Structure 1
Amino acid sequence: MATGTHEYEDDPRNAEILISVNGELLPRDKAVVSVFDSGFVLGDGIWEGLRVTDGGIAFLDEHLDRLFEGAAALDMDIGLDRAGLTARVMECLAANDMRDGVHVRLMITRGVKRTPYQDPRMTIGAPTIVVIPEYKNPKPEIASEGVTLFTVHVRRTGPAEQDQKINSHSKLNCILACIQAAKAGADEGLMLDPAGFVATCNSTHFFIVRNGEVWTSTGDYCLGGVTRGQVLKAAREAGIAAHERRFSLTDVYGADEAFITGTFAGLVPVRSVDGRTIGALHPERPKLLPRLTQLYRERIRSFATPLS
């Protein structure tokens, strides 16, 4: 039964974690924000998912780049610089003595409003900054068995509607895609751009392999994925042809391999799309995903920010 690409193994230690809310460390059941908070009222905020592995935060600089670019686009003053925000995350991890197998959700909203209305000028006080660290690892079967995708009718929008480059709290577009895919019995939704070319998935990025080449979308209609970018860099540095290009579902159905990428689970194989088994046309061709996975793991070790 489809359960989603972010299924994880429950860890009892998470019941005792401390969560940082505006710098105050609180037990899980006490970590709350106001009903007047911009994130609750309107989805007015930005966020990042961070992976803590082997005593370091993977690709922290790239995540902070994306976060601060999103804040600039939303005309939101975070109230902390990069060093201050990094210290806030590090403090929370240290308080929980967390060093490995951890996923961190860093969330920043515009702050509390004096009345529930969209105008940012109704905001009073400083932004709300929340750090939620959890012991969280993907279920082993996600990587071993792969996932299934269903192409949804919900399209990725262009910058004139809602710029997909912003990792905002407002995810209704993706949520609707997720719902449709789940109703169809799939793990995640594959989303197309306005012209009908493949764009991305509702919560991960999408790749195919054709005759030894790695393809992903142009990136015009998807978030600037950190893991996506690292996979492209790793492939090119290893001499593997990696293209950002337009391609259609016909290219997907005939692909030798398909996989998704994300901070939480890394690289995950896709076994079928819209009921078509991926790799069925040329089963004799060697698989590229194991090598890409190893190259990605090596980059994590090389580009992790050590915990303080």
Structure 2
Amino acid sequence: MTHGTHNAVYDPRNEEVLIYVNGELFSRNEAKISVFDSGYLVGDGVWEGFRLHKGVLVFLKEHYDRLFQGAKTVGMDLGMSRDEITKAIWKTLDANDMKGGVHVRLMFTRGIKKTPSQDPRLTVSGPNLVIIAEYKKADPESRDQGVTLFTSTIRRGSPDYLDPRLNCHSKIHEVQALVQALEAGADEALMLDVNGFVSTCNATNFFMVKDGEVWTSTGQYCMNGITRGKVIEVCEQAGIPCFQKNFSLFDVYGADEAFVTGSFGGLTPVTGIDGRTITETVPGTMTQRLQKLYEQAIEAQVNEVKV
């Protein structure tokens, strides 16, 4: 049975959701994109995942900052402003009568190619935009039981060939890492950077706790996660020592607690890594405290937007 940080509680309403494709809405079974799409052919695209909570798209500015930086990095003109994208998202949400408990996946690709090729000059259309909004509540089992990790031999990319901060459609190295972890009997993969220091996980950011301190990687070789940034922020606000630093598996194996972060699952406890037990208390004391502080940050964002 699948178990991990992206497990969602089954919701039958998702069978009837309408999907946004370039300004039009289609039923789930009718939503399609061309086989000549750049994203399908060569993974040429950027994307974001948003949470709709109590009628508010949480941390929207931070997600847009990352989206537009990614598009600029790969030389892609999205052809839409932030306001126009927001209107497209709300068109999708309103068509599905969605108010909260929703995860939104927004995907831009460079467009349709004349023929299968990497060359952007062979793109014969504007960017393609797909928006998938689903009712998604994180499965409490992951939060209650925690997840296990396995350290993959697949390293996170160096900024000089594929900057890990780029939230692009090319995710094959993370998939490879996850496959290794699954074959080893773990739930997800822990990934090292090119220097052998702990970097991140295949789909989430990694944190460890030691002697009341929270550690995470330097950020040079990991996705610049929105939730990661918020956890660092709430630590600073609460006076919890939080360090972005280099550390190795030597440190991780001796951690008091560990957890991973992501927009969908929030903070998910890690119980074991590479067959070693990290904690039998789920969630740990610090992890539980940070879960509450993060939830408070979300509520503060909702209240700020609604004022």
Same fold, TM-score > 0.5, yes or no = yes
CA RMSD in angstroms comes to 1.4
Residues 1:196 and 2:203 aligned together: no
User: Equivalent residue for 1:147?
Assistant: 147
Counterpart amino acid of residue 45 in structure 1:
G
Counterpart amino acid of residue 67 in structure 2:
L
Q: Deviations over 1:157-206 (max 9, x none)?
A: 10122111110000011010010001111110000011111000000000
1: CA distance, partners of 2:294 / 2:9: 22
Residues 1:6 and 2:6 aligned together: yes
**Offset of residue 86 of structure 1:** 0.9
Q: Secondary structure at the match of 1:246?
A: coil
User: Equivalent residue for 1:120?
Assistant: 120
User: Equivalent residue for 2:237?
Assistant: 237
User: Equivalent residue for 1:58?
Assistant: 58
Q: Deviations over 1:245-268 (max 9, x none)?
A: 000111111111000000010000
Counterpart amino acid of residue 81 in structure 1:
S
Q: Tell whether the 8 Å contact from 2:53 to 2:99 is kept in structure 1 after alignment.
A: yes
2: CA distance, partners of 1:106 / 1:306: 21
Q: Secondary structure at the match of 1:247?
A: coil
**Offset of residue 299 of structure 1:** 0.8
User: Equivalent residue for 2:299?
Assistant: 301
2: CA distance, partners of 1:199 / 1:79: 34
Counterpart amino acid of residue 167 in structure 1:
N
User: Equivalent residue for 2:288?
Assistant: 290
Counterpart amino acid of residue 139 in structure 2:
K
**Offset of residue 301 of structure 1:** 1.4
Q: Tell whether the 8 Å contact from 1:191 to 1:202 is kept in structure 2 after alignment.
A: yes
2: CA distance, partners of 1:46 / 1:121: 18
Q: Secondary structure at the match of 1:113?
A: coil
1: CA distance, partners of 2:88 / 2:210: 43
Counterpart amino acid of residue 217 in structure 1:
S
Q: Secondary structure at the match of 1:218?
A: coil
Counterpart amino acid of residue 175 in structure 1:
V
Where in structure 2 are the equivalents of 1:1-308 lying within 5 Å?
A: 3-279=3-279, 287-304=285-302
Q: Secondary structure at the match of 2:218?
A: coil
2: CA distance, partners of 1:71 / 1:194: 25
Q: Tell whether the 8 Å contact from 1:254 to 1:279 is kept in structure 2 after alignment.
A: no
1: CA distance, partners of 2:105 / 2:149: 25
**Offset of residue 2 of structure 1:** 5.6
Q: Tell whether the 8 Å contact from 1:55 to 1:306 is kept in structure 2 after alignment.
A: no
**Offset of residue 306 of structure 1:** 5.3
Q: Deviations over 1:268-306 (max 9, x none)?
A: 0000001111147xx8xx711111111101111122485
1: CA distance, partners of 2:12 / 2:45: 30
2: CA distance, partners of 1:88 / 1:301: 24
1: CA distance, partners of 2:99 / 2:253: 40
Q: Tell whether the 8 Å contact from 1:258 to 1:271 is kept in structure 2 after alignment.
A: yes
- Structure 1 183/297 Cα, relative in aligned 2: closer, same or farther at 3 Å? same
2: CA distance, partners of 1:16 / 1:178: 30
2: CA distance, partners of 1:112 / 1:157: 28
Q: Tell whether the 8 Å contact from 1:2 to 1:185 is kept in structure 2 after alignment.
A: no
TM-score normalised to structure 2 length? 0.96
Q: Secondary structure at the match of 1:124?
A: coil
**Offset of residue 30 of structure 1:** 0.8
**Offset of residue 78 of structure 1:** 0.3
Q: Deviations over 1:11-59 (max 9, x none)?
A: 1100110110001011111110000000000100000011111111110
Counterpart amino acid of residue 290 in structure 2:
L
Structure 1 residue ranges, 4+ long, deviating more than 6 angstroms after superposition: none
1: CA distance, partners of 2:199 / 2:214: 15
Counterpart amino acid of residue 65 in structure 1:
D
Q: How many residues align?
A: 303
- Structure 1 94/2 Cα, relative in aligned 2: closer, same or farther at 3 Å? closer
TM-score normalised to structure 1 length? 0.96
2: CA distance, partners of 1:254 / 1:70: 36
Q: Tell whether the 8 Å contact from 1:2 to 1:182 is kept in structure 2 after alignment.
A: no
